[in-house]
Amino acid sequence: MKRILAFLLAGMMVVSLAACSETESQESSQPSQAPSSSQVSEPEESPSSEQPQSSSSSAEETPEADGGESNMLVAYFSYAENADLPDGVDASATASIQTWNDTITGNTGVVANMIAESTGAELFSIQTVEKYPASYDETIDQGQQERNADARPELTALPENLDAYDVIFLGFPNWWGDMPMALYSFLEQVDLSGKTIVPFVTSGGSGFSSTVSTIEGLESGATVQEGLHLRDSSATGAQQQVNEWLSGLGYAG
């Protein structure tokens, strides 16, 4: 009988010890799961980990959007910008005076602005120290006298940093089958070697005459591309024609 009781007590002790061991095992396993869960979730939910990427992407795209200065220049001579016109001159009083963006210019100046707006090129107005008469007829008469004398009118300024430009649009009116002599002054004072010259001219109908070959002779180190001739009477409405010409040369979309 004593042996039976001993066996029963021993069995009860084994069962009790096993139950305690299982409880301790469960309690020791629970704390190890909680830290693991919090360590994974916190970095994923933090908004600061995404913001620097967005800021960096924006900064990298900015230089591409800014573009930079143009490598094209529109240098042109216009009667109205070189004449001694009275203040408040009526641009509608003569076909040789036009306005562009509320600024007085001439037919060549209008075309120059069209080219600049279509290509993003910079503008340079070729101007003489001595102004021409307010009367257009008197101006072209003076132009003929300068041509006969092979004169070189003094210019007020030349473009700065010409090395920055690869393409030079060169515009002028046709006076007596030639360029105004101010263009000779300009071309003889600048070196356009290695650059591309794209001429454009306004006239009453005589076109370029022999001016393209003259430009090629004065700037033998440059490449002269196909030019554009516009009649004086059609200059102000020539935007589409200008765009088609520029597109054909690859300077506008």
Average pLDDT over residues 12-25: 44
For residue 59, pLDDT beyond 50: no
Confidence of residue 185 (pLDDT cuts 50, 70, 90): very high
Reported as a single tens digit per residue, the pLDDT across 201-234 is: 999 989 999 999 999 999 999 999 999 999 998 9
* Domain edges within the chain: 72-249
pLDDT (0 to 100) of residue 113 = 97
In the chain, the percentage of residues whose pLDDT exceeds 70 is 70
Of 80 and 37, more confident: 80
For residue 36, pLDDT beyond 90: no
Average pLDDT over the chain, rounded to an integer: 79
For residue 173, give the nearest of 111, 218, 114, 115 by alpha carbon: 111
CA of residue 8 relative to chain centroid, distance: 100
Average pLDDT over residues 155-172: 98
For residue 141, give the nearest of 108, 175, 97 by alpha carbon: 175
What pTM value is reported for the model?
A: 0.72
- Alpha helices per DSSP H over the chain: 2-45, 51-66, 79-82, 107-119, 136-148, 181-189, 211-218, 239-249
In the DSSP assignment, the letter for residue 76 is E
Alpha carbons 81 and 103: distance in angstroms, whole number: 10
Average pLDDT over residues 43-65: 29
Confidence of residue 68 (pLDDT cuts 50, 70, 90): low
For residue 250, pLDDT beyond 90: yes
For residue 114, pLDDT beyond 80: yes
For residue 110, pLDDT beyond 70: yes
For residue 51, pLDDT beyond 80: no
pLDDT (0 to 100) of residue 92 = 65
The CA-based diameter of the chain, rounded to the nearest angstrom, is 151
Instruction: Tell me the CATH number for domain 72-249.
Output: 3.40.50.360
Lowest mean pLDDT among 42-46, 106-110, 189-193: 42-46
pLDDT (0 to 100) of residue 253 = 67
